[in-house]
Amino acid sequence: MFAVAFPLNTCAAQEIPREDTVYTSSSWQIPGWNILLGVDSCSYMVGIMYPTLYLYSAFTDEWIPYLAESYRWVDKYTLELKIRGEAKWWDGVPITAKDVKYSADLGKKYTIPWATPMWDYITEVKAVDDKTVQIFTSGDKLNYFQILSILFQQNLFVLPEHRWSALEAELGGKIITEFKDDDPAKIVGGGPYKLLRWSEEAYYYQRVDDWWGKAIFGLPNPKYLAHRMYKDNVAVALAYEAGDVDMMTHFTPKIWEIWEVKKLARRTYYSDAPYYRNHNIVVLFINWKKPLDDPNVRRAIAYALPYQDMISKAYFNYSVQASPSLIHHLGPSAQWIDEALVKKYGYGFDLNEAKSILDAAGIKDKDGDGVREMPDGTELGPYTIQVPYGWSDWMMMCDMISANLRSIGIDCATEFPDFSVWWDRLGKANYDIVIGWTADIGFNHPWNVFRVVLDPRLKHPAGNWENYPNTDSIPLIDAIPKETDAAKLKTIYTTLQEMVLKDLPCIPLFYGATWYEYSDDYWVGWPKEEFDPWFSNFWNWPSNMPVWFYLVKKGQTPTKPAWIDALKVPTSKIFGDLGVVIKPPPVTTTATIPTTVATAVTAVTTVEKTVATTIEKTSLQTVETTVQKEVPTMDLVSIAGAAIVALIVGLLVGRVTKREK
């Protein structure tokens, strides 16, 4: 039996059997388990220790009730949730509605990345009794996208009030700035795994065998989940090939060679191109500060980006260039793209055009040093473009971008700090240019991406990384979730696209690959195209939790847990139930609705959707979409108070990565 043991600074070392442990690698952060800091600032898997109300998969647009056992729309402004009677914290204290309310209210008291943004639209989270929670919105704040976001980790991890209120009393505001929560013995959670021990090389979570969810879900199969730390993508790729890592979420050049050439038992979600499912839009963020806020400078930069070289040479064709509209174009959400606007204001790689834009604006190299000056004499640089060290694909892209910017007269160098330094600089707006990401696909796309990029009410890491100051975006963002008319919705999205295309708060680059690579050396049953009981990307803890219930040791046969199909609910069902509350259905009438609405709405209709994308190894160009629809005997237009049209576009986008071979 192979085991690992090494000195630890938190508890006595013990042997961890290799055959009982799933080894992962995803994060570069120094260990810390205070989830109030935000999941991007914590150690990997921290979310497995804390329950959310539901689990969510953006790829199938389905929900599994987790801490909540059911939901009920009380009226069009109120969603009620029942907390499972079995739920308890590890110390035996019942998990109650008061814990849910306390956790949500923390976002009003402090700036918490996953909790604070929801209060732009939510008026109250109320504990009606020990096991009943109600979430309220109002006429001016009405936003069903936001209500659903509270159901999973996007906006709410549930924490034990009895522990965290005591920590608040002791630490005050330091609870969200300095508190690491890195003593495993003191952590009180309610998930199926708890932190066992950690060092700066690796940390381990141990299964909680008396977990309250055992009666409902059973126990996950791995006794231990572990995360190993590596210095960069190259180091972790070598460990993955050697079998030291069972699953990782890292970029690897020519990933296919590991199984096609080296014949190792390794895979990604797809066995051939593009190998990875895509999810969010990767963009170039340019800090909104003088003179980088000049639209001519930003547009020149947009023309200087070598999009295809970045994708083919640095990204190995794992994706394709994104639409400048900031809307995912590989699916039904493309109906919101204003192609005429994109044609008018769009851009592509053209260094000569970049130079012409600067010349026409009077931004010229007046002293012959190779760096252009603004009309007031301010030099364009020196600037830095930076991403975290170890992100080798993005590091190569930064090298390409900085070289091109220098060639058009913008002084730009690269810098690759540690992740924690990079993250801190973003939060303090202390940067020039970075490559970053936006919102994921899912039930609320494309609304969510405009909210995340354009809303000045947000700041890093919740959104608006580029510090865009234009408050004209706010009423447009707020109007979308309430709009009922497809034509008006189209107008709003067009206005937002024009803002994006003219001001260039960010420059869309490509669709981000959902990094996920696995090994069958020790564990089998990993989600893949041929066997996918449930897949939520492995950054979304605890939404990916079902995987650990069907993953089994090599030599055993993985099976799909019956509770996945028994419990899961499509977003269409949730909004269908809302529609009944908003307006009870007539018994005999048949609705007549516009074609665009009929295509988009699945709220209470029977809709079969196949979004098939034909993908070659070097491109993702062909998207075939077939939508069959039946109109139910109900006035569907009455449901649109929830902006169902915009919502269901997101539902269809969530299926865009299913392919035809």
Joined together, the tokens standing for residue 539 give 């950054």
Percent of the chain with pLDDT over 90: 76
Q: What is the mean pLDDT of the chain?
A: 87
Q: Give 499-549 pLDDT, tens digit per residue.
A: 999 999 999 999 999 999 999 999 999 999 999 999 999 989 999 999 999
User: For 139, what's the count of Cα atoms within 13 Å in the CB-facing half-sphere?
Assistant: 0
Joined together, the tokens standing for residue 495 give 């206005």
- Residue range 278-513, CATH number: 3.10.105.10
Residue 584 pLDDT: 63
Q: Assess whether pLDDT exceeds 60 at residue 659.
A: no
For residues 161 and 163, what is the distance between their CA atoms, to the nearest angstrom? 5
Q: Which CATH superfamily is domain 51-176 in?
A: Dipeptide-binding Protein; Domain 1 (3.90.76.10)
Residue 585 pLDDT: 57
CB neighbourhood size of 185 (10 A): 8
Q: What are the φ/ψ torsions at residue 81 (nearest 5 degrees)? A: -130, 140
Helix (H) or strand (E) holding 510: strand 506-513
Task: Kindly report the pTM of this predicted structure.
Answer: 0.85
Question: Where does residue 308 rank: exposed (0-12), middle (13-18), buried (19+ CB within 10 A)?
Answer: middle
Residue 396 pLDDT: 97
Q: Give 286-330 pLDDT, tens digit per residue.
A: 999 999 999 999 999 999 999 999 999 999 999 999 999 999 998
Provide the pLDDT confidence category of residue 37 given band limits of 50, 70 and 90: confident
Token pair 């970053």 is at which residue? 436
Name the residue with higher pLDDT: 95 or 593: 95
- Domains of the chain, by residue range, sit at 51-176, 184-268+515-565, 278-513, 570-653
Q: Assess whether pLDDT exceeds 50 at residue 195.
A: yes
Residue 622 pLDDT: 36
Residue 73 pLDDT: 97
β 433-437/383-386 pair status: parallel
For residues 449 and 441, what is the distance between their CA atoms, to the nearest angstrom? 9
Q: What are the φ/ψ torsions at residue 223 (nearest 5 degrees)? A: -75, -30
Averaged pLDDT for residues 420-437:
94
Query: How distant is the alpha carbon of residue 462 from its chain centre?
Result: 11
Residue 586 pLDDT: 59
Report the b/e string of 225-262 with b at 16+ CB within 10 A: bbbbbbebbeebbebbeeebbbbbbbbbbebbebeeee
Residue 40 pLDDT: 72
- Residue range 184-268+515-565, CATH number: 3.40.190.10
Provide the pLDDT confidence category of residue 47 given band limits of 50, 70 and 90: very high
Residue 434 pLDDT: 98
Residue 262 pLDDT: 97
Provide the pLDDT confidence category of residue 101 given band limits of 50, 70 and 90: very high
Q: Give 466-506 pLDDT, tens digit per residue.
A: 999 999 999 999 999 988 789 999 999 999 999 999 999 99
Q: Assess whether pLDDT exceeds 80 at residue 610.
A: no
The contacts of residue 409 (CB under 8 Å, 6+ apart) are 355, 358, 363, 364, 365, 370, 371, 372, 380
For residues 450 and 440, what is the distance between their CA atoms, to the nearest angstrom? 11
Q: Give 50-92 pLDDT, tens digit per residue.
A: 999 999 999 999 999 999 999 999 999 999 999 999 999 999 9
Provide the pLDDT confidence category of residue 123 given band limits of 50, 70 and 90: very high
Torsion of CA 139, 141, 144, 149, to 10 degrees: -160
Residue 653 pLDDT: 36
Under 8 Å between Cβ of 298 and 504: yes
For residues 146 and 155, what is the distance between their CA atoms, to the nearest angstrom? 9
Residue 621 pLDDT: 36
Query: Which residue, among 206, 215, 210, 209, has the nearest Cα to 187 in the 3D structure?
Result: 206
Q: Mean pLDDT lowest for which of 50-64, 187-201, 328-342?
A: 328-342
Query: Which residue, among 359, 360, 66, 106, has the nearest Cα to 191 in the 3D structure?
Result: 66
Q: Assess whether pLDDT exceeds 80 at residue 430.
A: yes
Q: Give 442-468 pLDDT, tens digit per residue.
A: 888 999 999 999 999 999 988 999 999
Q: Assess whether pLDDT exceeds 50 at residue 404.
A: yes
Residue 389, classed as helix, strand or coil, is: coil
Q: Give 256-285 pLDDT, tens digit per residue.
A: 999 999 999 999 999 999 999 998 999 999
Joined together, the tokens standing for residue 429 give 């707006």
Residue 615 pLDDT: 33
For residues 154 and 451, what is the distance between their CA atoms, to the nearest angstrom? 14
Token pair 């009730």 is at which residue? 65
Q: Assess whether pLDDT exceeds 70 at residue 636.
A: no
